[in-house]
Structure 1
Amino acid sequence: MKKLELIEAASKAYEEGDLFVAEQKLRDSIELDERNAVAHNNLANLLRISGRFHEAVDHYHRALVELPESAEIRSNLAGALEELGKHDLAEAEYRAAIRLEPEFAEARFNLGLLLLAAGNYTEGFAYYEARTSVFREYDTLPFPKWNGEDLRGKSILLLTEQGYGDTIQFVRYVALLRKRGAAAVSIACNPELAPVMRTTGNIDIVVTEPQSLRMHDYWISLPSLPHRFQTTVDSIPADVPYLGVFGNRIDAWRPRLPNDGLRVGLVWKGNADHDNDRHRSVRHFADLAPLWSVPGIGFISLQVGNAEAETEGREILQPIIKLGQSIRDFGDTAAIVAQLNLVICVDTAIAHLAGALGIACWVMLPSRGVDWRWHRLGNTSPWYPEKMYLFRQDSRGWPGVIDDVKNALADIAS
């Protein structure tokens, strides 16, 4: 089989989900021609998927010997270097890719994430704007995007994107739009978020149906507001709480909560469709068992979706009040969280909700793919500076993080 045929066969195997055959075909192609840059790049991409980053870096370098002006390969190399924690080298390769191809949206976006994780918000948020070309979540609107124009007497529509947590994190900027003189602020969001969006005190209209949209003077996506307001780590609008809860929701959930001891909410899994879910979610509810060695704690499950079923059969070893299946939207979740002493969760929207409500929250972070907003180092967050604590993984993995959380829980329960 010729080298081009081998590359095509590898692509077909990859599309069919057979990574073993795809890898073998690419290695066969390289054996025929050691200078086959395409095969080296494609093989490196497969190696990255399987977590073999050192070997991936080697093949990217071999590809670049033949194609040194390839922005795509340099960007791929940067991604592998980033996974290895070689952030300075990764940054250099992203910048090289952008010099070769200034409008390379994926490289610009990934460089933005890398810089934001390092706390370089000025440059990071500028590159982060490239996400609109990467994801293309919405079409062009019949009125202009807001680029910093005078808002006095004007109306502005806020669009949400990415996950629920992004919306909750960035809705704090609505207060700054009001300070700029915005006369009317609307937000288009998922119905599940609508109840908490109505509690900001700064949003006039919450739109959950696209056909209900009307003309505004301007529009902007919520995650673009940090860039528009030239946010730095020191200038984050961190006036917490900035979300509230409706009293009738509080009353509806109060009878279902424990009367004695510390009330601790738990969320151990995030969105299963998230690219990094296998790293950021706890394997199984049973893995949290060490937390039950701490006396005086009333655990409450805030876990929505199918994952709450993992509690079944664990009632004696890990007794927990299961509320997840009864939660209709974030208004319900907020009403429960507002009545807790603490939320312990993985990196998911509940962390942002607890933070925005001013409720103590401990976030258990993954070993790989830590989101930029939690930065690379430290145990606190400038986005929620007072009541949030970050538990980072070390060589012990999830068992180590859970053990650290158990010890911290024992400290506050004693």
Structure 2
Amino acid sequence: MSQTQVQALLQQVQLDAALDLLNEWLQREPQSTLALQYQGLTRLWLGDAVAAEASFRAALALDPTLPRNQANLGISLLAQQRYAEGLPLYEARDQVDGPRFPGLTAQRRWQGEALAGRRLLLVREQGFGDQIQFIRFAAELKALSAGAVIASVSPGLGSLLASAPGVDALSEGDIPSEAYDLWCPLMSLPCLLGIAAPPAPARLPYLHAPAAQHQHWQQRIDAWAGDKPRIGVVWAGSAQSAIDTRRTLPAALMLEILHARGQAVAFSLQLGDAALTLIDQQIAAGLIPLFDLLQDFADTAAVIEQLDLVISVDTAVAHLAAALGKPVWLLLPVGADWRWGQSGEQTPWYPSMRIFRQTQYGNWRDVALSVAGELQRGLA
């Protein structure tokens, strides 16, 4: 069956083969909204948001009421930085797999009306990096006369995001039952606030590690690095996700990049199984692994506050380092996530971030060579 074959190819990140199969599928069934959805997704991953938009528009024309068609078109527009068009369509993500916020009533969902002193609950969604990125809007909500901003965040983020401007109270894990008047998904804030372009944060840093953890890690990092430059690195996301597989840099290439660091001391901020990849080579190269010492994101933030540079693929650590105002070199695949756009070395979301992009799908070596060259020049 075409769908099963396409899904297998996408899971294996064989995008050209998937696109060929989809073109054959659409020749047989030109009215298949499912084939058009997969075609648009594959085109997005191949870095062609304009072609993806055409696929998603065709799917939407065939079934204008299907939430997935609306949300996918929104993503393709956001990838082109067309926020005013894309954000309202992206709101349909809530209904793609049925209601995503059980226990929260539609009658109390904030729709952008005047807050007038009412308590607003921001409900977490998607990944750690998304929550770190979008918590910046809490300060804007306070400026709009929210009586209180309460954030419900994922376990591991609580003590860190409590430092965000505008956050009055925070719940980690369970969503509070009655401590609010209105609620809103965290990633709906740009739409409801009328964001028409990627916004820079009002202030940097907008997050801070707790003082006790900052002091603890300052002593430890100073003991390891002294007065030498300090670099933190992350090369992989979750091995369970095809998206993370696409944006994962081989550990061997990260070690090659670090050969250019000169006297700088390098720390691995990598977590999960990937932290153990080539562990003997990591240690031989002088990379100091911290995976068994980092208890939560506040620990990671406290380490990053002691560093001069973070080099990372598209993970929560990249968002965290940039939210802390640290220089970040972000390594992106072709067809990167919509928030990074499709070209350029800078992003308004994070002024301290520099982007290094693949120019050919799957070619991380050229990215590694570019980063290594810039690292060598920067530390010279």
So what's the TM-score if we normalise by structure 1?
Answer: 0.83
Aligned partner of 2:367: which letter? V
Aligned partner of 2:358: which letter? Q
Counterpart mapping for 1:238-387 below 5 A: 238-257=202-221, 258-285=225-252, 287-310=254-277, 312-314=279-281, 317-367=284-334, 369-385=335-351, 387=352
Counterpart mapping for 1:3-402 below 5 A: 39=1, 43=5, 46-49=8-11, 53=15, 56-57=18-19, 59-65=21-27, 67-135=29-97, 136-142=99-105, 144-210=108-174, 212-233=176-197, 235-257=199-221, 258-285=225-252, 287-310=254-277, 312-314=279-281, 317-367=284-334, 369-385=335-351, 387-395=352-360, 397-402=363-368
Match of residue 370 from structure 2: 404
CA shift digits 1:45-80 (9 cap, x unpaired): 555555555555455455445544332232233233
Q: Answer yes or no: is the 8 Å Cα contact 2:134–2:187 preserved in 1.
A: yes
Matched residue SS, 1:326: coil
Runs of 4+ in structure 1 over 6 Å off: none
CA shift digits 1:352-390 (9 cap, x unpaired): 1011110110011124x41111110001111002x1001
Instruction: Provide the C-alpha distance between the structure 1 equivalents of 2:252 and 2:8, rounded to a whole number of angstroms.
Output: 31
Q: Select between 233-242 and 254-263 the one with higher mean Cα deviation.
A: 233-242
Aligned identity (percent) is 35
Q: Which runs of 5+ in 1 are unaligned?
A: 1-38
1:47/1:398 Cα in 2 relative to 1: closer, same or farther (>3 Å)? Answer: closer
Instruction: Provide the C-alpha distance between the structure 2 equivalents of 1:47 and 1:272, rounded to a whole number of angstroms.
Output: 16
Q: Which runs of 5+ in 2 are unaligned?
A: none
Instruction: Provide the C-alpha distance between the structure 1 equivalents of 2:246 and 2:310, rounded to a whole number of angstroms.
Output: 20
CA RMSD, 1 decimal: 2.4
Aligned partner of 1:91: which letter? E
CA shift digits 1:297-354 (9 cap, x unpaired): 1101111223222353226641022222111111111111111111111110011101
Please report how far the alpha carbon of residue 192 of structure 1 lies from its aligned counterpart in structure 2 after TM superposition: 0.4
Matched residue SS, 2:145: coil
Instruction: Provide the C-alpha distance between the structure 2 equivalents of 1:160 and 1:122, rounded to a whole number of angstroms.
Output: 23
Q: Answer yes or no: is the 8 Å Cα contact 2:81–2:341 preserved in 1.
A: yes
Instruction: Provide the C-alpha distance between the structure 2 equivalents of 1:321 and 1:58, rounded to a whole number of angstroms.
Output: 44
Aligned partner of 1:313: which letter? D
Q: Answer yes or no: is the 8 Å Cα contact 1:263–1:342 preserved in 2.
A: yes
CA shift digits 1:381-404 (9 cap, x unpaired): 11002x100111134822221111
1:71/1:355 Cα in 2 relative to 1: closer, same or farther (>3 Å)? Answer: same
1:160/1:209 Cα in 2 relative to 1: closer, same or farther (>3 Å)? Answer: closer
Please report how far the alpha carbon of residue 137 of structure 1 lies from its aligned counterpart in structure 2 after TM superposition: 3.5
Q: Answer yes or no: is the 8 Å Cα contact 1:40–1:62 preserved in 2.
A: no
Q: Answer yes or no: is the 8 Å Cα contact 1:300–1:321 preserved in 2.
A: yes
1:176/1:343 Cα in 2 relative to 1: closer, same or farther (>3 Å)? Answer: same
Q: Select between 320-329 and 219-228 the one with higher mean Cα deviation.
A: 320-329
Q: Answer yes or no: is the 8 Å Cα contact 1:268–1:285 preserved in 2.
A: no
So what's the TM-score if we normalise by structure 2?
Answer: 0.90
1:111/1:332 Cα in 2 relative to 1: closer, same or farther (>3 Å)? Answer: same
CA shift digits 1:19-38 (9 cap, x unpaired): xxxxxxxxxxxxxxxxxxxx
Instruction: Provide the C-alpha distance between the structure 2 equivalents of 1:204 and 1:86, rounded to a whole number of angstroms.
Output: 41
Instruction: Provide the C-alpha distance between the structure 2 equivalents of 1:234 and 1:167, rounded to a whole number of angstroms.
Output: 16
Q: How many residues align?
A: 374
Q: Which has the higher contact order (CA 8 A, sep 6+)?
A: 2
Q: Answer yes or no: is the 8 Å Cα contact 1:238–1:383 preserved in 2.
A: no
CA shift digits 1:143-201 (9 cap, x unpaired): 51000111121001010111000000000000110011001111111230001111114
Q: Answer yes or no: is the 8 Å Cα contact 1:351–1:363 preserved in 2.
A: yes
